[in-house]
């Protein structure tokens, strides 16, 4: 029987996998971030009020939180790689509905995008665990760097693209092109059988056993407070910087610049971990520095904002990469990775998004900037505590017995 190109050239298959994986990561947040700069156009054309705009801003985070554990359930019924393919097609349909479906499409399309990309981002970690079990840190560095890059590209290019194409509808639909291309590229990998049986078999990845596992909870709580602290500033920093005297363009550029600065820290996080002496040591430096830079942005000399934003971005980028690495490294196998990803991202996005939204109760009060900085400090320090706990040795398994540890999935590690 004639062999496929991936079977006769396994090196080509692995390189191809890395390239397509990074392109998928680039698209995981890009279509979301592209919508935020167009909110003014949406409010004008669809007559959105402040409450509608707030729901539109927080909806992606909530949907991602629902989609992540859903991915762990769906791998019982569909092959992981095919599930990723179906999920990206669902997200593509959501992009089109959001662009041309009026008010219903605006919210319904966002839900479909969140479900599709949330399941993709959760399940693909298990595939990475299976294909590159000994290169997890590097792969997750690339994952984080590309997610940050996609977020920055979407935010920075969305409004110019919409103006160039003649309106927000075409501007939002434009971001479906890159997702459609990467979906076609993934089709080759979805049908490949060259690197393991899981390429064409379903998995059993129940999240329930992990609810009794201490290591799984440490990873999940670390993810929760990481999301809460990051989204708290992402949502409110622009408004707070305008209060400090910045104009609308410059205040929006602060978080965009910080997001760009996350990329090198995420990309080289493996080296940073080695230089600092381990994940715990890197978190011990990176998280307090991000707290100091937050206070500097809100209360320091205004002309120093590029320095504070850069330090903030570098710290967050390194911590984000560690968080993604811990999900894959603490899992004993592919199924456990999908389950742990579903649990940590589900808890992290839903609860972390709600904690970040507490900023809405503080930002309009007297000394709202002080309250936001205080919340950020509390969330960050909680993240540091749980992050150090999660970085301790121990594996999580959804199987009866973990082959690496000899412990059951319900035992604390």
Number of C-beta neighbours around residue 268 at 10 A: 16
DSSP string for 234-286: HHHHHHHHHHTT--HHHHHHHHHHHHHHHHHHHHTHHHHHHHHTSHHHHHHHH
Percent of the chain residues topping a pLDDT of 90: 40
Write the pLDDT tens digit of every residue in 56-73: 767 788 898 899 899 888
Q: Residue 49 burial (CB < 10 Å; 0-12/13-18/19+)?
A: exposed
pLDDT band (50, 70, 90) for residue 219 = very high
Ranges 130-144, 164-178, 272-286, 390-404: which has the least confidence: 390-404
| CA separation for the pair 235, 58 (Å, rounded) | 9
Radius of gyration of the chain (CA): 21
Decide: 241 and 305 in contact? Cβ < 8 Å: yes
Decide: 388 and 189 in contact? Cβ < 8 Å: no
Write the pLDDT tens digit of every residue in 175-215: 999 999 999 999 988 876 554 444 456 677 778 889 889 99
| CA separation for the pair 369, 363 (Å, rounded) | 7
Q: Residue 349 burial (CB < 10 Å; 0-12/13-18/19+)?
A: buried
């Amino acid at each position: 029987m004639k062999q496929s190109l991936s079977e006769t050239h396994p090196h080509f298959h692995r390189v191809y996998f890395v390239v397509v994986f990074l392109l998928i990561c680039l698209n995981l947040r890009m279509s979301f971030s592209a919508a935020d700069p167009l909110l003014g156009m949406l409010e004008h054309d669809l007559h959105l009020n402040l409450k509608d705009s707030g729901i539109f801003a927080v909806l992606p985070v909530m949907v991602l939180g629902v989609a992540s554990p859903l991915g762990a359930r769906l791998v019982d019924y569909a092959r992981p790689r095919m599930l990723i393919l179906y999920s990206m097609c669902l997200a593509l349909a959501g992009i089109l509905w959001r662009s041309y479906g009026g008010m219903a499409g605006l919210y319904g399309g966002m839900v479909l995008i969140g479900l599709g990309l949330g399941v993709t981002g959760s399940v693909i970690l298990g595939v990475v665990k299976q294909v590159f079990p000994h290169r997890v840190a590097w792969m997750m560095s690339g994952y984080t760097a590309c997610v940050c890059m996609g977020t920055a590209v979407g935010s920075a290019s969305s409004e110019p693209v919409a103006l160039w194409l003649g309106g927000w509808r075409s501007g939002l639909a434009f971001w479906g092109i890159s997702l459609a291309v990467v979906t076609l590229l993934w089709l080759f990998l979805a049908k490949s059988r060259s690197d393991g049986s899981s390429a064409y078999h379903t998995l059993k990845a129940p999240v329930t056993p992990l609810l009794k596992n201490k290591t799984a909870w440490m990873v999940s709580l670390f993810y929760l407070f990481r999301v809460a602290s990051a989204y708290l500033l992402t949502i409110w920093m622009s408004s707070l910087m305008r209060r400090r005297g910045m104009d609308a363009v410059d205040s929006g550029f602060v978080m965009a610049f910080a997001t760009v600065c996350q990329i090198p820290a995420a990309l080289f996080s493996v080296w940073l971990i080695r230089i600092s002496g381990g994940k715990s040591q890197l978190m011990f430096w990176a998280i307090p520095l991000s707290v100091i830079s937050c206070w500097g942005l809100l209360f320091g000399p205004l002309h120093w904002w590029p320095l504070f934003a850069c330090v903030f971005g570098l710290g967050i980028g390194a911590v984000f990469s560690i968080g993604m690495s811990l999900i894959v490294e603490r899992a004993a196998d592919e199924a456990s990775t999908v389950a742990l990803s579903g649990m940590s991202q589900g808890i992290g996005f839903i609860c972390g998004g709600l904690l970040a939204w507490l900023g809405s109760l503080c930002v309009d009060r007297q000394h709202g900037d002080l309250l936001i900085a205080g919340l950020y400090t509390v969330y960050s320090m909680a993240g540091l505590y749980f992050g150090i706990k999660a970085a301790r040795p121990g594996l999580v398994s959804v199987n009866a017995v973990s082959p690496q540890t000899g412990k059951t999935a319900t035992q604390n590690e």
